[in-house]
Amino acid sequence: MKPTSKFTARDIVSIGCMTAILEAVKWTLSSIPGVELVSFFLILFTIFYGWKTILAALGFAFLEIILWGMGIWNFMYIYMWPLLVALTMLVRKYDSIWAYTFLSAGFGLCFGALCSIPYLLIGGPITMFTWWIAGIPYDIAHGIANFLIMILLYKPVYHVMEKVFTKYKMQP
């Protein structure tokens, strides 16, 4: 029986390159609170690579753990970035810059609320709620930044990735 979704050497290299790009863009803007390109690139990678992007999201999360050590945020990264890939897969059928823009902005706005889930398990609802509320200004900045980044960069980066996929006859 032939497997339905096999990984090729090209897939493995692509996942490694996606992970490296995610780490590089994370470092590039890390000094600006609420501004990041990880969400943008995970959405773009998911458009082109589909579910295989989850491996790059997890690779990024584990690379962050290796670089920064253990902490409660590790759990957040392990579920947050694959969640964005899954949400992008749901939105992908619309294939619209606006769908991706609102997904990215919404993800930024909800980031703190979604990241507060481990605090519910550790300290209860009050701890979760106070942690989330304290971060709302960053979530607002994150949502606005994600919106602007997607509007400004989606088309040019999409066209470059489309050319690469066409030139090298790559398939999602």
Domain residue extents for the chain: 9-160
127 pLDDT above the threshold of 50: yes
Which pTM does this prediction carry? 0.92
Q: Which CATH number fits domain 9-160: 1.10.150.20, 3.40.50.720, 1.10.10.410, 1.10.1760.20?
A: 1.10.1760.20
CB of 73 within 8 A of CB of 26?
A: no
**Best CA proximity match to 115, nearest among 74, 62, 61, 148:** 74
Compute CA distances 31 → 2, 36, 41, whole Å.
48, 10, 18
Per-state percent for the chain, helix, strand, coil, to nearest 5: 80, 0, 20
Q: 41: part of which helix (H) or strand (E)?
A: helix 38-49
How is residue 18 written in tokens? Answer: 């996606």
Query: What confidence tens digit (pLDDT) does each residue in 90-123 have?
Result: 999 999 999 999 999 999 999 999 999 999 999 9
Query: What confidence tens digit (pLDDT) does each residue in 48-93 have?
Result: 999 999 999 999 999 999 999 998 888 899 999 999 999 999 999 9
Rounded to whole angstroms, the Cα distance separating 113 from 7 reads 35
